[in-house]
Structures are given as structure tokens and as C-alpha cells.
Amino acid sequence: MPPDSAQLTARRNGPLAGAVRVPGDKSISIRALILGALTVGETRVGGLLEGEDVLHTAKALQALGARIERIGERAWSIHGVGVGGFAEPAAALDFGNSGTGCRLALGAVAGCPITATFDGDASLRSRPMRRVLEPLERIGARTLASADGRLPLTLAGARDPMPIVFEPQVPSAQLKSATLLAGLAAPGETVVIEAQPTRDHTEKMLAHFGAEVRVESLSDGSGRRITLVGQPELAPRPVVVPADPSSAAFPLVAALLVPGSAVILNGVMMNPLRSGLITTLTEMGAAIERLDERNEGGEAVADLRIRSGGLRGVEVPAERAPSMIDEYPVLAVAAAFAEGTTVMRGLKELRVKESDRLAATAALLRVNGVGVDIEGDDLIVHGAPRVLGGGVVTTHMDHRIAMSAIVLGLASERPVQIDDGTFIATSFPGFVELMRGLGADLS
């Protein structure tokens, strides 16, 4: 059976062991491509995630006039066109399943005097874009065609972009990033005020490429004010992409749950705005040790040593959600094996991911004999050290639901099957081979 194929089955097969490096961070990879395309000159990126989401983004940027080529394993060269320099594409830009690539590219195109059509697969077409379009239209872009704020969507970029002050109504790094990328082409200062901090990769990478960015805490101490000085000339700078903490979550949780396991994950990004899962698992009693903590390309990085052991239920506060929004499905799997009840609060954002991840996560657990409730936007998992398993999980074309179900199957009493593993490659190419290399039984 080919890797990452449909109808994968995961079975218990003894301890997991070994040292591995998961693929490069998707958020950093996509931002490196987009910002490299907005520089003048050549940017080289090492460790790029070569998953489908990133490759679709690269093809879209090529259609917009950037020269992007693979020069080695996970090594890429980008010849940019400068801020506001994108050319009008000859055909629709296809982002596949990549919500991040699409929303950030909407921002980058919004500051250019061109018209472009954005499209994607059936899953991406179902995801809302309206809230991203609101700040872009205030900057001066116009939405010419869209079905209910969804793809396919035609955007006319601003001919005279204007700086704005924008306060997102929901904590979203994609929404913030799209606004800042559009603001690059505007004179003066574009400001985003966050009531709740979200991942800050865009701000860090803008500064890395030479933009003037100020980040200040709000007077109440909870939020942040991000100010970007517009119309910079971004200069090429090398980027080394650290290992993706969202991808690392799957072998990490598997190592915690499969008895006798001892696994090392190398070079994982430890950005505080991305490490909510590790914080939560540590509160649950997980044995996770940080080794060789260091800085690579402006991001905190460490090797993680994980040993299996018992977990206990906890309450996860809503304000932690932005730092681990993609990791809730696999956290729910960990909670299924924990002693007691785990309550995960404030998960509204999960309803508008690749699937309705809140409902899909609950269904994943129920079909495998785990007690679970949804109350409003809260997910409540009633854990037990032994999970029956034996279910067939409907993945809804969602890579994270697929991988979470596989992790559950590696530790449950009976095998767990997923209906479709093909979408795993959108974020984690080689997932099946990596897990088999640690000792997992996947067929």
C-alpha cells in the first residue's frame, strides 16, 4: 500500500523508539515564500516543508511573477518582485487545501494594482474568507466576485492602498498577517490591535527582511499593538525553517501513550505563541524534556525527549487556544487516555478549519468508545487509561483528524482505521514512513 494512502489502519505494536526530525514548519514555510517573493533579489530557504499546502502556495506565487525553484532537498531559491510588484496572473490561483497560503496571499495581492482569482479544493471552497476581506477592502482592495465570501473569489488589488487601524474580532494569525501584508504597499503606518496574542511569525519575518515593525503590549497587559511602517524595500535574507510543532504533536502524543516508548524529536520550534500543547501536556503529567535550547532564524528551537507515562485530566483555558489551535484533535486523543475529565474551552475557531474539527474530533473519539461532550464551544473528554478503539474514522478530508485517529489506534485495545489518509501530505509528507520508523504498525 502506498504511503499516506486511503484506509490506513493503526495497531498496537510495542514501544516507539528513535530520534527523528519532523518536516519544516508550515507557517514559516508559507511566510518565507510570500515574503521572499516581495523582496528585490534572491532569497534562499532551507528546511522548507515540501507538503502540498506549501507547494500550492509556491505555484501561485510563480503565477504572480516570482521566480521560485527547488535547488536541493528542502532547499529553495526565490527571486522576488518587490512590494506591490506582483503581475496579473493568466489563470486562477489554485491553493489546494491551504487556508494559510490563500489568506496570506490575498493580503499580499490586495496591495497590488492587479486582479486575481483565488480558488482551491472542495474543502478550501467551504471555508469562510469574508472576515479576511473586510480589512483588505478598507485598505482599498475590491471583491469583484465571490459566493457568500468563499472561493472561488476574484480580488482587485488597491491602486492607492491606504493604511488602516484594524482590531480583529476573533484571534487569528491569518487575519492579522493578511492585513499586515496588504499594509506593506500603503504609505504611513498600518496597525493591528490584538485583544489576544496570536502566533507572531509574520511580524518576526517582516523584521527579518528589513521592514520596520513595532510590537507593544496593550495597557491591560493581555493584548498587543503591531505597527508596520509601509512601503519598505524588503531585502533578501536567508531563512532556515525549524521543525513544525503542529506536526511534532503527533509522534509526541503517540510516544506519551504507547507504553515503554522513548522518542527524541529534533529541532522543534518552541515559539511561546505555538507551545500551548506542550504546556498543557506538561500540566497533565507528561514527561517532556527540552534539550539543547537554541535560536535558529529568529525562532526558539529545542530537541524534545518524550517518555511514555500516565496522564491526568485538566482544564484548558480558552485564552490558550491561539497557541495550539491546530493541536486540539491530538490533545483530545491524549485526553482520552488520561485519568479523569479534560475540558478544552473556547474552541469556536475549530468549526471553520479544513472540516468542522470540533464535531470531527468528537466523532473520532465516540466511534472508538471514548466518552465526549460538546457544550457550546467547549470540548469535554472523559478519559480512561484503556481505550477500546476498533472504530472506522471519517476524516472529512482533514489531515489533522486523520493523523490524530492514527495516534489513537497505536495505543488503543483494537485497531483504528481511517477512511482516507491521502490528505496527510498537505502538512506532513512522509508521516507514515516516519511513524513506521519509530515502530508503529500502519498498514
* Pairing of the two strands 416-418 and 392-393: parallel
| Choice among 303, 326, 398, 420 that is catalytic | 326
The CA angle 72-74-79, to the nearest 5 degrees, is: 75
CA separation (Å) from 148 to 107, 119, 127, 129, 172?
Answer: 19, 14, 10, 9, 20
Length of the chain, in residues: 443
Question: Nine-digit cell at 36?
Answer: 521572499
| Nearest residue to 175 (alpha-carbon basis) of 87, 268, 102, 283 | 102
* Distance in angstroms between the alpha carbons of the first and the last residue of the chain: 7
How far apart are alpha carbons 101 and 83 in whole angstroms? 17
Short-list 99, 86, 7, 96, CA closest to 39:
86
Structure letter (DSSP) for residue 51: S
Please state the φ and ψ torsions of residue 295, each to the nearest 5 degrees: -120, 130
Q: For residue 232, how far is the Cα from the chain centroid? A: 27
For residue 226, give the nearest of 242, 246, 202 by alpha carbon. 202
**How many CB atoms lie under 10 A from the CB of residue 203?**
22
Distance in angstroms (rounded) separating the CA atoms of residues 362 and 231:
46
For residue 347, CA distances in Å to 334, 382, 438 come to 17, 17, 32
Query: Is the CB of residue 303 less than 8 Å from the CB of residue 267?
Result: yes
Cell matching residue 370: 471514548
DSSP type of residue 295? E
Looking up cell 530557504 gives 45
Cell numbers representing residue 434 in the block? 516516519
CB–CB of 74/46 below 8 Å? yes
Q: Is 119 an active-site residue?
A: no
Three-state SS annotation for 382-425:
EECCCCCECCEECCCCCHHHHHHHHHHHHHCCECEEECCCHHHH
Q: Measure Cα distances from 281 to 118, 327, 331 in Å.
A: 38, 11, 8
- Catalytic residues, by residue number, are 326
